[in-house]
């Protein structure tokens, strides 16, 4: 029987506090009616029976992870996977952040010296943290529902800056450890559904593909605000402001803190001020998705400036954080949801409700990633090394953009992991079918999946795709 | 300044947390917290298994360790070995490729993903749970979009299983309804059906076309033997019918905080299994994208390596044996004090918990005067007892029973 340290004991009557609305048959429920056949046999013999899942259809492959599957199946040796937003080294292996101290220890492995040290010196600050954890003999008891306290403190400080009034004594911000960015967004979406009935979320056009899935499954209505301008391959600022202005008062505006996914286009500081103005004017609620802090410019503080601007304004707002990219902790699923409130009392109430949402979803969050982050950020030496690694990785991405971008000046204006090439679907298909370059169908490439050596190959592929895959589409970009 | 959050109410206090906090705030040095659903050693300390430490060291030394995203359904080897653990190495269902297993966040996560999937795709959305059951069950299922009903389970007169009532209620359930069955070591009562009773349950479930959803959180922890504890589930799978299984490694591998478990769905055919799997991924992706790797790596390392697996079974049996010994000691201590009533249920019940039969007044008195804390339904965690503290608990029970009706 599943239970936890925080288990609720038993419930033998109808549970209290059940939202009666939830008892209605849920979601879209578009299943054809299938009467379950009653089983007349009572013996143990095995036989083919009708399945009660017979009417289930095959779900479409995931648009992003599905790209990786197609890539894996491709046997061509020139193939490139630029689909998934995960950092790759020059040798296109997943990169685990390097820590200078480990360099000395690992140098004793003579075979490692033969191969590029970025690939083999793949120990990050987290390696040190993990070993520290092992040495200390940390136990594996359940975390509280809100997660590791040391992590929650560290993550809020990283976001707002240590000593910022909004997190002083952790009073005004409700911070809950979440399952990376996705899980944190989902907790917030569930809170919105419960307490902001009818409010909708505005998401950028385009935005990360999973955003709408999250809001759909949480039953929160959403619509789009203009963002990407295909003519300039830049920000449609006028459209963005107009759409935000037009939204019903009290809407949630989903903003990417930095390194917009998928376009790589961020508002300038001046534009951020105007965005804050219009949001305040319409009493909207900002909802930041911060998945790349430090990864965009190389500076943690600079990348948090948009969020901090809003905090300065005394606004109440939401921020989802992820440590998947900047600490390379993708698979540990570590992130947080922060709700900046106007009073300590509100923060307490909000925190209690977020816990109430997390408990029937997964009870309490995983401890490992939280400890790694808390240890890295909490240790001055390790944190300093981490910041240096950050700057190195972000710098590499900038270099790749520069090398790729001789004729692609718009790319230089974009920052972060992704570049929106402006290729349409037919052109993207040509990239894959002819050149074995895998990218998502919206023309997005992950520059972190690109090595210096492959830049020329990619440039050739892009040029060819533009000219030769052109169908009945809008004007291609002039090269 | 007006707040957008002004209509956010404070959530009700979690009943078990309030017990934990009360114990925490109790200044008495001999206080004892028996509400904790986590194994403790004789010294009252949490335990990390030796074999788990070994696995972690191995993982930490692996320079090629890749922390890239796991697939949405988690670590493939973990899924494979977890399925085998519950279904058996020689499972026909596994061989016929009609089993879907996906890594989830321990038992809770497995239950939630399974419930969301059922709410979307199963035509009957009523789910029957035992009365009583783990406190989180109704919340999980309700939030997933299912409607919760109860079947009789605990008989307070016998402090045992109300088997007739259970069969009656299952028999009266609408055809095709879902039914939660705790595979072993029922929480909170500690009362499990016998194998003969399981067979009768199986027959009625199958004849009414009910779809079982097993909660398997204590495999190996109940009797000390992994296969024995899996018998109830395997009985159902052997008849060729479908079922869901939520599996947790929180207790039997002591991996509580790593949140590692699996949702398994046994289907009637490979084709159905394929489609079911694809739909499960659509539930997971907007919830948390993909599961955390660390716990999965530890479990896989252990299950894959026959020496480590053997070491694990030994440590697991050690934990189960200590709990059984605590039951015996507590029972004998109560007998020795001549406490009125039949206390044999303490040794008849199985697993981490015991439903003592103490009422709320008695429970509160034990907390106040004897500094022994348990949940108000009279449930104690045997795993929190030690030889040193048994006398104190026996004294407290004796006092509570003799002074408070």
Mean pLDDT, chain A, as a whole number?
74
Q: What is the pTM of this model?
A: 0.82
Nearest residue in A to B215, CA atom:
A1
- Asked if A210 and B60 come within 8 Å (Cβ–Cβ), the reply is no
> So what's the pLDDT on residue A431?
84
> What are residue B148's DSSP bridge partners?
B127
Catalytic residue among B162, B192, B215, B377: B215
Please give the average per-residue pLDDT across A190-214, as a whole number: 95
Q: What is the pLDDT of residues A133-166, one digit of tens each?
A: 888 888 999 999 999 999 999 999 999 998 888 8
> Is the per-residue pLDDT at B268 higher than 90?
yes
Q: What does the pLDDT look like over B356-402, one tens digit per residue?
A: 999 999 999 999 999 999 999 999 999 999 999 999 999 999 999 99
Name the pairing type of β-strands A10-11 and B133-134.
Answer: antiparallel
DSSP letter, residue A285: E
Lowest-pLDDT choice from A131-145, A158-172, A445-459, B329-343 = A445-459
For residue B305, pLDDT over 60 is answered with yes
B169 is catalytic: no
> Between residues 51 and 90 of chain B, which touch chain A (CB distance below 8 Å)?
52-53, 56-57, 60, 63-72
Q: Is B388 on the interface with A (CB under 8 A)?
A: no
B125–A142 C-beta distance less than 8 A: no
Mutate to test the interface with A, among B1, B253, B289 (most CBs of A within 10 A): B289
- For residue A303, whether the previous peptide bond is cis, meaning omega lies within 30 degrees of 0, is no
Task: Considering the candidates A243, A266, A303, A325, report the single residue annotated as catalytic.
Answer: A325
* B28 inside 8 A of chain A by CB: no
Whether A100 has a pLDDT exceeding 80, the answer reads: no
User: How many CB pairs (< 8 A) connect A and B?
Assistant: 397
* Token pair of A21 as six digits: 């609305």
Q: What pLDDT is attached to residue A99?
A: 30
Q: Would you give the distance in Å from CA B187 to the centre of its chain?
A: 7
Catalytic residue among B134, B198, B312, B343: B134
Q: Each residue of A41-77: pLDDT tens digit?
A: 333 333 455 777 777 777 777 666 666 667 777 888 7
pLDDT band at B8 (very low <50, low <70, confident <90, very high): confident
Min mean pLDDT across B22-36, B122-136, B233-247 is at B22-36
Cite the DSSP H helix spans in A74-171: 100-106, 110-113, 117-120, 125-136, 149-160
Touching A: B residues 163-182, CB under 8 Å: 175-176, 182
- For residue B106, which residues of chain A lie inside 8 Å, CB to CB? 2, 362-363
> If you average pLDDT over residues B67-93, what whole number do you get?
93
Mean pLDDT throughout A460-470? Answer: 66
The pLDDT, as a whole number, for residue B345 is 94
- Give the mean pLDDT of B122-143: 96
**A216: pLDDT strictly greater than 90:** yes
> Of A1-15, A453-467, B145-159, which has the strongest mean pLDDT?
B145-159
Q: Which of B38, B120, B254 sits opposite A5 (nearest CB)?
A: B38
B229 lies within 8 A of chain A by CB:
no
Query: A66 vs A137, A263, B8, B275, CA distance in Å?
Result: 39, 20, 40, 16
pLDDT band at A96 (very low <50, low <70, confident <90, very high): very low
Residues in chain A with CB shorter than 8 Å from the CB of B24 are none
Nearest-CA residue of chain A relative to B131? A12
pLDDT of amino acid A474? 35
Residue B239 predicted with pLDDT over 80: yes
Residue B134 annotated in active site: yes
pLDDT over 80 at B62, yes or no: no
The count of C-alpha atoms lying within 13 angstroms of the C-alpha of A167, restricted to the half-sphere facing its C-beta, is 19
| Tens of pLDDT, residues A9-22 | 444 433 333 333 33
Comparing C-alpha atoms, which of A358, A12, A352, A357 is closest to residue B134?
A12
Distance from CA of B75 to the nearest CA of A (A): 10
Tokens of A357: 């949402």
CA B144 to chain centroid: 19
Tell me the average pLDDT across A334-359. Answer: 93
**Rounded mean pLDDT of B171-199?**
97
Tokens linked to A261: 């996914």
Cβ contact, residue pair A123, B283, below 8 Å: no
ipTM for the predicted complex comes to 0.93
Q: Which of B52, B112, B295 sits opposite A360 (nearest CB)?
A: B112
| pLDDT of amino acid B68 | 66
Note the Cα A386 to chain centre separation in Å: 20
Average pLDDT over residues B79-108: 97
**Over 80: is that where the pLDDT of A455 sits?**
no
pLDDT of residue A430: 85
Q: What is the percentage of chain B residues whose pLDDT exceeds 70?
A: 98
Q: Does residue B27 carry a pLDDT above 70?
A: yes
A442 catalytic per annotation: no
The whole-number average pLDDT for the span A379-407 is 67
The reported pLDDT for the residue numbered A463 is 66
Distance of CA B344 to the CA centre of its chain: 23
Shortest CA gap B327–chain A (Å): 18
Q: Do residues A257 and A288 make contact, with C-beta atoms less than 8 angstroms apart?
A: yes
What lies within 8 Å, CB to CB, of A474 at 6+ separation is: A230, A424
């Amino acid at each position: 029987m599943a239970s936890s340290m925080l288990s609720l004991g038993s419930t033998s009557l109808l549970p209290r506090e059940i939202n009666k609305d939830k008892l209605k048959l849920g979601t879209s429920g578009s299943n054809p009616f299938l009467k379950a056949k009653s089983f007349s046999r009572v013996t143990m013999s095995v036989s083919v029976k009708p399945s009660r899942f017979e009417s289930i259809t095959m779900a479409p492959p995931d648009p992003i992870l599905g790209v990786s599957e197609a890539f894996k199946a491709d046997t061509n040796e020139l193939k490139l996977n630029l689909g998934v937003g995960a950092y790759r080294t020059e040798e296109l292996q997943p990169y685990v952040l390097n820590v200078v101290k480990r360099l000395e220890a690992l140098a004793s492995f003579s075979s490692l010296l033969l191969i590029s040290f970025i690939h083999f010196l793949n120990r990050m600050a987290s390696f040190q943290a993990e070993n520290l954890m092992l040495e200390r003999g940390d136990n594996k008891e359940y975390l509280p529902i809100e997660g590791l306290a040391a992590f929650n403190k560290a993550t809020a400080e990283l976001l707002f800056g240590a000593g910022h009034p909004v997190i002083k004594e952790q009073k005004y911000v409700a911070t809950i450890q979440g399952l990376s960015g996705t899980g944190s967004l989902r907790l917030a979406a569930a809170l919105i559904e419960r307490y902001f009935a009818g409010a909708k979320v505005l998401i950028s056009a385009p935005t990360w593909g999973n955003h709408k899935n999250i809001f759909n499954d949480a039953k929160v209505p959403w619509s789009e605000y203009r963002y990407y301008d295909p003519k300039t391959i830049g920000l449609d600022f006028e459209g963005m402001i107009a759409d935000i202005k037009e939204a019903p008062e009290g809407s949630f505006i989903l903003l990417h803190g930095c390194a917009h996914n998928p376009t790589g286009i961020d508002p300038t500081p001046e534009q951020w001020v105007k965005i804050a103005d219009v949001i305040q004017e319409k009493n909207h609620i900002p909802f930041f998705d911060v998945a790349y802090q430090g990864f965009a410019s190389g500076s943690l503080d600079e990348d948090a400036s948009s969020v901090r601007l809003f905090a300065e304004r005394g606004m109440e707002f939401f921020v989802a954080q992820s440590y998947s990219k900047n600490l390379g902790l993708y698979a540990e699923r570590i992130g947080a949801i922060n709700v900046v409130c106007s009073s300590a009392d509100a923060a307490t109430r909000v925190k209690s409700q977020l816990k109430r949402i997390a408990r029937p979803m997964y009870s309490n969050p995983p401890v490992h990633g939280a400890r790694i982050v808390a240890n890295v950020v909490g240790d001055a030496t390790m944190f300093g090394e981490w910041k240096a690694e950050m700057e190195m990785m972000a710098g590499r991405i900038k270099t790749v953009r520069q090398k790729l971008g001789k004729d692609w000046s718009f790319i230089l204006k974009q920052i972060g992991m992704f570049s929106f090439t402006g290729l349409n679907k037919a052109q993207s298909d040509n990239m894959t079918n002819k050149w074995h370059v895998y990218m998502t169908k919206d023309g997005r490439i992950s520059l972190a999946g690109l090595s210096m050596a492959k830049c020329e190959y990619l440039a050739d592929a892009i040029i060819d795709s533009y000219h030769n895959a052109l169908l009945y589409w809008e004007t291609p970009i002039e090269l | 300044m007006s707040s957008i959050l002004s209509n956010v109410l404070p959530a009700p206090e979690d009943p078990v947390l309030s017990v934990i906090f009360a114990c925490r705030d109790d200044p008495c040095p001999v206080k004892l917290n028996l509400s904790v659903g986590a194994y403790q050693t004789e010294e009252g300390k949490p335990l990390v298994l030796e074999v788990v430490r070994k696995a972690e060291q191995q993982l930490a030394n692996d320079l090629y360790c890749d922390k890239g995203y796991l697939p949405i359904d988690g670590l493939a080897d973990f899924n494979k070995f977890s399925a085998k653990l519950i279904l058996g190495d020689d499972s026909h269902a596994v061989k016929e490729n009609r089993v879907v297993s996906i890594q989830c966040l321990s038992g809770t996560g497995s239950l939630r993903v399974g419930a969301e999937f059922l709410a979307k795709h199963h035509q009957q959305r009523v789910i029957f749970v035992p009365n009583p059951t783990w406190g989180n069950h109704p919340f999980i299922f309700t939030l997933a979009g299912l409607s919760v009903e109860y079947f009789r389970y605990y008989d307070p007169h016998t402090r045992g299983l109300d088997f007739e009532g259970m069969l009656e209620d299952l028999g009266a359930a609408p055809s095709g309804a879902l039914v939660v069955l705790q595979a072993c070591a029922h929480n909170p009562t500690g009362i499990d059906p016998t194998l003969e009773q399981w067979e009768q349950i199986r027959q009625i479930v199958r004849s009414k076309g009910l779809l079982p959803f097993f909660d398997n959180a204590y495999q190996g922890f109940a009797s000390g033997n992994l296969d024995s504890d899996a018998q109830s589930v395997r009985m159902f799978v052997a008849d060729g019918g479908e079922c869901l299984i939520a599996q947790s490694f929180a207790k039997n591998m002591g991996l509580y905080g790593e949140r590692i478990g699996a949702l398994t769905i046994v289907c009637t055919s490979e084709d159905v299994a394929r489609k079911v799997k694809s739909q499960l991924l659509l539930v997971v992706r907007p919830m948390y994208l993909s599961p955390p790797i660390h716990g999965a790596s530890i479990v896989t390392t252990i299950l894959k390596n026959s020496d480590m697996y053997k070491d694990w079974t030994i440590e697991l049996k050690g934990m189960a044996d200590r709990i059984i010994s605590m039951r015996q000691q507590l029972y004998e201590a109560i007998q020795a004090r001549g406490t009125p009533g039949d206390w044999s249920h303490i040794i008849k019940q199985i697993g981490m918990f015991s439903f003592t039969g103490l009422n709320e007044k008695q429970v509160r008195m034990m907390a106040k005067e004897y500094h022994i804390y348990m949940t108000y339904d009279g449930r104690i965690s045997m795993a929190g007892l030690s030889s040193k503290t048994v006398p104190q608990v026996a004294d407290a029970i004796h006092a509570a029973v003799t002074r408070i009706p």
